[in-house]
Amino acid sequence: MSSYLSHTKEEQQAMLKAMGIASINELFADIPKQVRLNRELLLPPALSEMELTSYMQKLSQQNANLDAYSCFLGAGAYDHFIPSVVGNLTARQEFYTAYTTYQPEISQGTLQAIFEFQSMICELTGMDIANASMYDGATALAEAVAMACSHTRRNEMLIASTVHPESREVIKTYARYKGIEVKEIDYDNGSIDFGCLEAALSDQTAAVIVQNPNFFGIIEDLGQAAELAHHHKALLIASVDPISLAILKSPGELAADIVVGDGQCLGNPISFGGPGLGFMATSKALMRKLPGRVVGQTTDLDGKRAFVLTLQTREQHIRRDKATSNICSNQALNALAATIYMTVLGKEGLKEVANLCFNKAHYLYDQLIQSGKFTPVFSAPFFKEFAIISSCETKALNTALLLDQIIGGYELEKSYPQLKNGWLLAVTEKRTRTEIDSLVEKAVNYCD
């Protein structure tokens, strides 16, 4: 029976007859009368499909949607262009309705998609092995913390205060129940303060966590962080923006041990904050500590290429009460979207997206600074996101911009109270010169 058509009276009678009862009331006879509603539901009269479509469109127009508004808000979720082929292919029913593969080897198409995802993440991050994806970037980071503590048998974690504030909160929640001590390292000119980091490192440190580009959009020196961490036999966990890896050195080249991030920017819409997509990659030395599952490639009895679940040592259905993670269905559909996105763009396409983001963000930064109404916060190099100080109150500025169908920046005071009127702006390849100039004009006029 279709989901869109209600039961006819004849169908209802046929079902009641099959059950051996005469009426709907008889069907619910076991439910006491005092708990029954005993009246009609308080719903408006039924609408035709045409009337309902019109009504829902009016409701949806109350949202500031990204088709009508130009978005300069980032802070972890980014308005990148998504080629239509991504939605078209992920909507195929064999992918769209697929559940986790408990009889995995009969799902060769699903396994191949995951294998391709893992391969691309390894190529982007410069690491040896990647898993089949995680819930989101924040939980991937928290799982990396558990992994580092298990490998080093240490329980102290040093995290840069330039890591996304919400990711730091997720880590602290995980750490609280695992007996892990989390210490934050302050920043200097927007980057991790290496003097503070060196002073804090000890033989109890399991890992150093650095985000690159960091929450302020600044490009961190992962190589120096890795050198300091390894000197104390600790690991380096890098949380990265995958788009940036098209033009930056990979974390693997800079000696990171575990690399995580959120793959929302790879072909997944913002969609009111979720769902996201976490990715995680590491070295061969740590692969047996990797949470989730890994799909491998082999040949069948006839010598044909085939895919199998190769490694899932930490999953709950394998280790039961000894499991240290619960990833289950992960975000396989989102990972598939990321795989299709990366396939369609290719290496050169991804590099072009990254360069467009970089150039447009720097153009906006220069225009705002030249206006004299905004001042730099830091002088360190940035990628597609940057922090500035506004001469007017940022909350009011964002409200004013919204009236002109512009979604402004993140108010940094929410997470960094010392940065009064701090404004974090993100620019993706979608923003046109006209949109950027319009933001500058309206923001400068408002602050005049």
- CA-closest candidate to residue 215, choices 152, 277, 264, 168: 168
pLDDT at 101: 63
Q: Which residue bears the tokens 């619960």?
A: 326
Bridge partner residues of 278 (DSSP): 134, 262
CB 242 within 8 A of CB 265: yes
**What string of pLDDT tens digits covers the 448 residues of the chain?**
455 677 888 999 999 999 999 998 898 899 998 998 888 889 889 899 899 999 999 998 888 889 899 999 999 999 999 999 999 999 998 888 766 666 778 888 889 999 999 999 999 999 999 999 998 999 999 999 999 999 999 999 999 999 999 999 999 999 998 999 999 999 999 999 999 999 999 999 999 999 999 999 999 999 999 999 999 999 999 999 999 999 999 999 999 999 999 999 999 999 887 788 999 999 999 998 888 889 999 998 999 999 998 887 655 566 666 666 666 666 789 999 999 999 999 999 999 999 999 999 999 999 999 999 999 999 999 999 999 999 999 999 999 999 999 999 999 999 999 999 999 999 999 999 999 999 999 999 999 8
Q: Are strands 181-185 and 156-160 parallel, antiparallel or unpaired?
A: parallel
Distance CA 316, CA 102 (A): 13
Percent of the chain with pLDDT over 90: 77
Distance CA 37, CA 97 (A): 35
Distance CA 229, CA 163 (A): 17
pLDDT at 184: 98
Distance of alpha carbon 70 from its chain centroid, rounded?
21
3-state secondary structure of 276: coil
Cis preceding linkage at 213, omega within 30: yes
pLDDT at 355: 98
pLDDT at 1: 45
